[in-house]
Amino acid sequence: MTAGTAGTAGTAGAAGAAARSGTAGAGAAGDEGREMHALVERLYPLCRSITGDGVRRTLDIVGESVPLRVREVPTGTPVLDWTVPKEWNVRDAYVKDASGRRVVDFAASNLHVVGYSVPVSATMTLAELRPHLHTLPEQPGLVPYRTSYYAETWGFCLAENTLAALPEGRYEVRIDATLADGHLTYGEHVVPGRTSEEVLVSCHVCHPSLANDNLAGIAVATRLARRLAGTDPHYTYRFLFAPGTIGAITWLALNRERAGLIRHGLVLACAGDRGHLTYKRSRRGDAAVDRAAAHVLRASGRPHEIVDFSPYGYDERQFCSPGFDLPVGCLTRTPYAGYPEYHTSADDPGFVTPEAMTDTLEACWEITRVLEGDRRHLNLSPYGEPQLGRRGLYGSLGGRSDTKQAQMAMLWVLNLSGGDHGLLDIAERSGLPFHVVADAARDLRAAGLLKELA
């Protein structure tokens, strides 16, 4: 995950998000949406970072829903051009005024401590303390999220309003933390398929109390894995729950050969706000997952945006680095830094909704349905148009609300099934929804007019 600040100033919290256009969801979220939101609420208080016990506890909780293989990679391990850093854990942190009152308190919000702050215990004047205090003057009521992963320093984050109210005087400063040799931790869940070729679904687990930029993606990925269980998929689905940037780099370094099995991939982030869905293409730009995502979003009628790849954002930039060049895109709602609540205390469980997470989940599911169903076929009666009526194919469509679409789909599938077009190709060229094309192919196979190719 790239570092960044909140977007342009605006109304914070869920009310501000609701005012934006492109709101998600039609109808109630249902049980899945409520369960995803409950998972967000449960994970929200944990203090996560790129290493440490918060990541382990997060993976423990996710592991209650889907079994995880957890990997611990020691500090100092070379991973591509990087090295696994020291492990950071924080127990308590505060700034106390002269009366002993905690004016900044880690126990109230883990955002108050700059991530990876070194231990400190001192008394200092406000002037001496100020260089270590971080606020958002343009959003004076919010606490920002800041980190210092690779430079040993320390700091606190607080609301600008709180800072403005601090009187001159001496303050007790305490960060009870450890920064020492340890491990980087990530988890994997695998849904076995009929082939060893893989679909990668990745989300980052390194942010502290940020509901949309972190936890909603975890919740959607977990629920998608549960949906896939027992479906006997064609592809093997690998779900990666890893710290941003260094976690993906570590996984790639330890899985160079396995990375070659990845045929499609999605990075999930910012999956629960009320903005419309945004898909960022892979570096290739025309990978099957890029086309599948574009087709699903277009055919569904959802408000959405499709953007080209750039080497900035979430871990798609690691998977799409030129040495790997994997076909991995990124699915979000409002992209990073695109909403005022981004990387602030306003990104709380009230900012994400069950309906939005359900909509994101459905989009992911529909994309997997396209990837699973995209097969090439051979027309077994290619000379002239075969007579569909005497095979009962037209009659079988009677009473369907999409009878005309289904008839056209049969004709398109027959015409383009010379072995060199997949069903997604046909859906794109015909302008028909993929599921209608796939249903037509199924019926034509059953009638002996079509043969699925390996």
Q: Where are the domains of the chain?
A: 21-84+183-372, 87-180, 376-452
Mean pLDDT across the chain: 92
- Those residues whose C-beta lies under 8 Å from the C-beta of residue 446, and which sit 6 or more positions away, are none
Please, which pLDDT band fits residue 2 given cuts at 50, 70 and 90?
very low
Q: How far is CA 42 from CA 49, 271, 334, 354, in A?
A: 17, 17, 23, 14
The secondary structure of 110-171, three-state, reads HHHECECCCCEEEEEEHHHHHHHEECCCCCCCCCECCECCCCCCCCEECCHHHHHCCCCCEE
Give residue-wise pLDDT tens across range 285-331.
999 999 999 999 999 999 999 999 999 999 999 999 999 999 999 99
pLDDT at res. 27 = 42
Tell me what percent of the residues of the chain surpass a pLDDT of 70. 92
Q: Which residues are annotated as a binding site?
A: 207, 213, 343
pTM (2 d.p.): 0.91
Distance of CA 339 to the CA centre of its chain: 16
Please tell me the class of the 376-452 domain: mainly alpha
Burial 311-332 (b: 16+ CB within 10 A, else e): eebbbbbbbbbeebebbbbbbb
Determine the Cα–Cα distance for residues 140 and 161; give it in Å rounded to an integer.
Answer: 5
The tokens 């070659």 sit on which residue?
260
pLDDT at res. 454 = 83
Give residue-wise pLDDT tens across range 158-188.
999 999 999 999 999 999 999 999 999 999 9
CATH topology of domain 87-180: Glucose Oxidase; domain 1 (3.50.30)
Is residue 20 over pLDDT 60?
no
Determine the Cα–Cα distance for residues 348 and 211; give it in Å rounded to an integer.
Answer: 5
Work out the average pLDDT over 422-442.
97
Give residue-wise pLDDT tens across range 148-164.
999 999 999 999 999 99
Q: What is the CATH number of domain 21-84+183-372?
A: 3.40.630.10
DSSP code per residue over 288-314 = HHHHHHHHHHHHHT--EEEE---S-SS
Q: Which residues are annotated as a binding site for Zn(2+)?
A: 207, 213, 343
